[in-house]
Amino acid sequence: MKQFFMTLCAVFFFLGSQAQSSIKSTDVLLKEARQQAAKENKKVFVIFHASWCHWCHKLDTAMADASCKPLFEKSYVTCHLTVLENGDKKSLENPGAMELLKAHHGDQQGIPFWLIFDKDGKLVADSQIRPEGASLDTQGKNIGYPGSKDEIAEFQKVLRKTSKLSEAEITLIGERFAALKGS
């Protein structure tokens, strides 16, 4: 009986360690995304999110909408990083994600928070609204989910700067985000 109990404990320990190791680190996810972006001549769109975050789910829903998904896929490799989980969901967090969020002034901004990197890993845009001409090192106000008219306009400016999208495609994305705000 003791042998059975020890074997059972070993199995549960092994399964628990395997489950935790299936969460990839931020470094691994970003490396994979950068490699794909370099191969496809795209940028990396990093989204910080959590399972409990309503606006994070809205952002994912809008980006995955049939009218928007191919447009985002045209210019970006999307990489989700899980942060700010609670209790038993803490194990869902990507190791290193919180440090990256803090490094880009996002830890006090709320989520979703997003960054856009070029294929070489250089930050080219993020979800913060700043005064015209301010550098990306200047802390701004997080757009999160672009739902208001001003936030959508700012998001569209970012898309113009970082994507291969036409003006009609950028307009379509703005309309879709505005329509989903109230749902």
Exposed, middle or buried: residue 90 (CB in 10 Å: 0-12, 13-18, 19+)? exposed
120: Cα within 13 Å, side-chain hemisphere: 2
pLDDT at 14: 43
Nearest CA to 81 among 60, 58, 67, 63?
Answer: 60
Whole-structure pTM value? 0.85
| Confidence (pLDDT) at 98 | 95
What string of pLDDT tens digits covers the 183 residues of the chain? 444 343 434 434 444 444 455 889 999 999 999 999 999 999 999 999 999 999 999 999 999 999 999 999 999 999 999 998 899 999 999 899 999 999 998 888 899 999 999 988 999 999 999 988 888 888 889 999 998 999 999 999 999 999 999 999 999 999 999 887 655
Strand partners, 115: 46, 126
Q: How far apart are CA 119 and CA 49, in angstroms?
A: 22
DSSP string, 90-159: GGGSPTTHHHHHHHTT-TTT-SSEEEEE-TTS-EEEESEE--TT--TTS--EE-SS--SHHHHHHHHHHH
Strand partners, 114: 47
Side by side, the strands of the sheet bearing 123-126 are 76-82, 43-49, 113-117, 123-126
Q: Give the model confidence (pLDDT) of 11-63 as tens digits.
A: 344 444 444 558 899 999 999 999 999 999 999 999 999 999 999 999 999 99
CA-nearest of 106, 119, 123 to 48 is 106
Owner of token pair 């940028």 = 43
Per-residue pLDDT, 112? 96
